[in-house]
């Protein structure tokens, strides 16, 4: 869904834009949030009108349910309005579907994609599995080693570069403007998974990316009850994304779109709250004897903080920490003792979650933060929600107390 006629979108701050984005009187009528339009079939007044609609292929026009209805159009337009530099946004039934949709919109058989070695595991599997089967090749790169990336680009002449910053397990921030400039000079398209920061925290298209992808299942949904993804881009790549998505028959349900739109309205305040709490909790964890390292770019002492402070305008509640213990079961023991944190996948919801992780497990080009320090791979990722941080700290103290610090 493109929104080129919404010229007012940069006149107000993102917080204000969040409350109005995607609202059009012709879609919402006199209600505040866009209603749920459940529709597969759209009826035409006449055969002439059907023919005109079929030929037009314009956004925001009734055609058939697979191209959505006002509930989906309104959400897509809202996301476009929140993404500086975007011409349009395509919605997908999950974040992983958005990753697939974006890569398939850009790549053809024989092309190469260079993928950041800290990328989300299913993104990696896309490259090593589906894309490989379709005749595309890949190589992983260390996103912190710009010179090595430049050499790899010269060697592989990639069609696409896939980026994720911070890496959603190991949390290192990479220099997106520098990496995308190298990619652009070589004629490659830069795609970025910006789920961690959302457009409120990182303006990916303005920082050099051509396509920005988000899992809306995280911060946008915000209530752990929906699956959805999005890709936003300038006009050229938006058209390619839209075409590929139509060809693949991708559509999201109006009920889920309404939930995502509802979540979007409060995303700013939720992110502010979880960021503040995450910083308080991360600082506390860094002072505990059972913890060797906290991986949180928002903290001043983090190796990624300088880049984060330069390029980002916000953060979120997701960060990781490494345990000192030699016991491979240590992270399991800690999370089993937690009472306030759920153990579960995903993140960005109002309820805090804890997950044992091994951030280095799948790496090829990049040493893990723990391996770099000669440490153990026993780590935990926390998604901090909206609870009182003091209660979460008390819970983590209970969890860490299960470990022997002698």
Ligand X SMILES: Cc1ncc(COP(=O)(O)O)c(C=O)c1O
For ligand X, the closer CB: 215 or 274: 215
Only one residue has tokens 């881009």, namely 233
Query: Of the candidates 33, 276, 346, 402, which one interacts with ligand X according to CB under 6 A?
Result: 346
**What is the three-class DSSP state of 137?**
strand
For ligand X, the closer CB: 98 or 400: 98
Residue nearest to ligand X (CB): 95
Query: Of the candidates 227, 338, 354, 355, which one interacts with ligand X according to CB under 6 A?
Result: 227
Candidates 94-102, 202-210, 230-238, 372-380; binding stretch for ligand X (CB under 6 A): 94-102
For ligand X, the closer CB: 215 or 325: 215
Pairing of strands 211-215, 229-233: antiparallel
Candidates 64-72, 88-96, 102-110, 335-343; binding stretch for ligand X (CB under 6 A): 88-96
Can residue 34 be called a binding residue for ligand X (CB under 6 A)? no
Only one residue has tokens 């999950």, namely 94
Shortest Å distance, C-beta 213 to ligand X = 7
Query: Of the candidates 165, 215, 288, 352, which one interacts with ligand X according to CB under 6 A?
Result: 215
End-to-end distance of the chain based on CA atoms, in angstroms? 58
Q: Which residues are catalytic?
A: 66, 120, 193, 218
Nearest 5°: phi and psi at 91? Answer: -100, 145
Can residue 168 be called a binding residue for ligand X (CB under 6 A)? yes
Can residue 96 be called a binding residue for ligand X (CB under 6 A)? yes
Can residue 193 be called a binding residue for ligand X (CB under 6 A)? yes
Can residue 115 be called a binding residue for ligand X (CB under 6 A)? no
Can residue 400 be called a binding residue for ligand X (CB under 6 A)? no
Can residue 195 be called a binding residue for ligand X (CB under 6 A)? yes
CB 99 within 8 A of CB 124: no
For ligand X, the closer CB: 121 or 329: 121
CB 201 within 8 A of CB 271: yes
Number of H helices and E strands in the chain, helices first, is 16, 12
Report how many residues bind ligand X under the rule CB under 6 A. 12
**What is the three-class DSSP state of 55?**
helix
β-bridge partners, 319: 382
Query: Of the candidates 14, 68, 85, 95, which one interacts with ligand X according to CB under 6 A?
Result: 95
CB 138 within 8 A of CB 131: yes
Q: Could you tell me the CA-to-CA distances from 246 to 57, 59, 243, 343, 398 in Å, in that order?
A: 11, 12, 5, 36, 50
User: If you count them, how many residues does the chain have?
Assistant: 406
Can residue 383 be called a binding residue for ligand X (CB under 6 A)? no
Can residue 117 be called a binding residue for ligand X (CB under 6 A)? no
Can residue 120 be called a binding residue for ligand X (CB under 6 A)? yes
Shortest Å distance, C-beta 349 to ligand X = 11
CB 343 within 8 A of CB 353: yes
x/- binding map, residues 278-317, to ligand X, per CB under 6 A? ----------------------------------------
Nearest Cα to 170, choosing from 372, 341, 328, 309?
A: 372
For ligand X, the closer CB: 169 or 322: 169
For ligand X, the closer CB: 90 or 330: 90
For ligand X, the closer CB: 120 or 330: 120
CA atoms of 83 and 80, how far apart (whole Å): 5
Can residue 198 be called a binding residue for ligand X (CB under 6 A)? no
Instruction: List, in order, residues 6 or more apart from 241 with CB less than 8 Å away.
Output: 88, 90, 101, 102, 105, 211, 231, 233
Query: Of the candidates 118, 170, 198, 217, which one interacts with ligand X according to CB under 6 A?
Result: 217
Please count the other Cβ atoms lying within 10 Å of the Cβ belonging to residue 301.
Answer: 10
Region 55-84 residues binding ligand X, contact defined as CB under 6 A: none
Q: Could you tell me the CA-to-CA distances from 293 to 52, 289, 327 in Å, in that order?
A: 61, 10, 16
Can residue 253 be called a binding residue for ligand X (CB under 6 A)? no
CB 304 within 8 A of CB 202: no
Can residue 94 be called a binding residue for ligand X (CB under 6 A)? yes
Binding site for ligand X (CB under 6 A): 94-96, 120, 168, 193, 195, 215, 217, 227, 229, 346
């Amino acid at each position: 869904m493109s929104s080129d006629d919404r010229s007012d979108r940069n006149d107000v701050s993102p917080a204000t834009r969040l409350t109005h984005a995607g609202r059009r009187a012709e879609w919402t009528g006199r209600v505040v949030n866009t209603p749920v339009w459940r529709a597969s079939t759209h009826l035409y007044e006449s055969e002439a009108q059907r023919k005109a609609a079929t030929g037009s292929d314009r956004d925001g026009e009734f055609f058939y349910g697979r191209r959505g209805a006002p509930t989906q159009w309104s959400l897509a337009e809202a996301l476009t309005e929140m993404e500086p530099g975007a011409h349009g946004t395509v919605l997908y039934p999950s974040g992983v579907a958005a990753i697939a949709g974006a890569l398939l919109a850009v790549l053809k058989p024989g092309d190469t994609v260079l993928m950041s070695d800290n990328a989300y595991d299913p993104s990696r599997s896309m490259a090593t599995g589906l894309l490989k089967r379709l005749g595309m090749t890949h190589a992983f790169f260390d996103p912190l080693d710009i010179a090595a990336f430049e050499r790899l680009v010269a060697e592989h002449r990639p069609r696409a570069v896939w980026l994720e910053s911070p890496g959603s397990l190991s949390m290192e921030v990479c220099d997106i403007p520098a990496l995308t400039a190298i990619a652009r000079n070589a004629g490659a398209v830069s795609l970025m998974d910006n789920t961690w920061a959302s457009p409120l925290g990182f303006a990916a298209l303005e920082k050099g990316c051509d396509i920005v992808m988000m899992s809306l299942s995280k911060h946008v949904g915000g209530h752990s009850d929906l699956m959805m993804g999005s890709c936003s881009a300038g006009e050229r790549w938006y058209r390619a994304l839209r075409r590929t998505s139509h060809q693949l028959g991708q559509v999201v349900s109006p009920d889920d779109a309404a939930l995502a739109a509802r979540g979007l309205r409060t995303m700013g305040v939720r992110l502010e709250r979880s960021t503040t709490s995450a910083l308080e909790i991360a600082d506390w964890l860094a002072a505990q004897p059972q913890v060797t390292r906290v991986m949180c770019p928002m903290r001043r002492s983090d190796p990624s903080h300088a880049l984060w402070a330069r390029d980002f305008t916000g953060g979120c509640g997701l960060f990781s920490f490494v345990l000192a213990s030699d016991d491979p079961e240590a992270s399991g023991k800690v999370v089993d003792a937690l009472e306030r944190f759920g153990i579960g996948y995903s993140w960005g919801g109002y309820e805090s979650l804890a997950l044992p992780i091994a951030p280095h497990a799948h790496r090829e080009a990049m040493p893990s933060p723990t391996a770099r320090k000669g440490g153990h791979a026993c780590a935990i990722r926390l998604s901090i929600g909206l609870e009182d941080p003091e209660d979460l700290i008390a819970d983590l103290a209970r969890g860490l107390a299960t470990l022997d610090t002698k």
